[in-house]
Amino acid sequence: MKLGNNISAIVAGGATGLGAATAEKLAEAGCKVAILDMYRDPGEALAKKIGGIYCHLEISSEITVDTAIDFAREEHGTERLLINCAGVALDQPAVWRDKDSGKIVLHDVASFERLLQVNLTGTFYMTTKSAAAMMELPPLENGIRGVIINSASVAAEDGLEGQAAYAASEGGVLALTRPLARDLVNEGIRIVTIMAGRYDTAMFTERSVDVTQRVGTTEKAPSGLADPREFADTVRKVVEDDDINGQWVRLSGAKSK
């Protein structure tokens, strides 16, 4: 798909981190960008900077998903691109022994369900609702109607200790990729998942100091964390290559942890 001012793009989770870098990259290419995110202040600021629009989004709520998408379409028309970067992370062992009391503790169910609702169900909401609208659009060159890129963590394949719940939610996103692509291939809609490794984003650096130090020191210099703009570069490459479909791209520098 060729990018330009005829392309409307929605970036869910576009106010910060990987989503923000992607929103900027798509705006640089001339796209009309809508930032959908729960964080209003950075979302509005970035939208103003790139000439896009912002709408509040709680991705775990189907009602707010519908409201946010409808607003974006009223302003920019139906999206040809959907980039799903909204998500939450948590580092908590599935079962562990408390160091002080020796008591055996289980992962709380509410946190597990929250991860699934945001990372997996929210991604499913956005993807299916966007695909349904794309199916109504006339095809562009090569018969492509739209492209949907979902982000996941490398934890989907290589979860660390303490990431059972997080890995399960991200693994679900990964598992959606090929069946969704097969459902939509005859409609000219491509589905790709990008698995991100250790990126310099608030979601990563605000997690436990132990996890950040453990993986950060094994990654490339100087900070041990990759630049979110590298993720955005990959998004653009995937969008512009119509042969990439039903695949997942791993951005981890070939590191397993």
Tell how far CA 24 is from the center of its chain.
15
How many C-beta atoms lie closer than 10 Å to residue 171's C-beta?
Answer: 18
Could you tell me where the beta strands, DSSP code E, fall in 98-196? 104-106, 146-153, 189-196
Cα distance between residue 53 and residue 215, in whole Å: 35
Q: Which residues of 126-160 are buried (b: 16+ CB within 10 A; e: fewer)?
A: bbebbbebbeebeebeeebbbbbbbbbbbbbbbbb
Q: Give yes or no: 125 in active site.
A: no
- DSSP annotation of 120: I
Q: CA-to-CA distance for 63 and 51, rounded, in angstroms?
A: 26
Catalytic residue among 39, 54, 125, 166: 166
Residue 1 and residue 149 in contact, taking contact as beta carbons nearer than 8 Å: no
22 and 50 Cβ atoms separated by less than 8 Å: no
* Cα–Cα distance for residue pair 64/180, rounded to 1 Å: 23
Do 129 and 121 meet the contact criterion of CB atoms below 8 Å apart?
Answer: no
- Known catalytic residues are 166
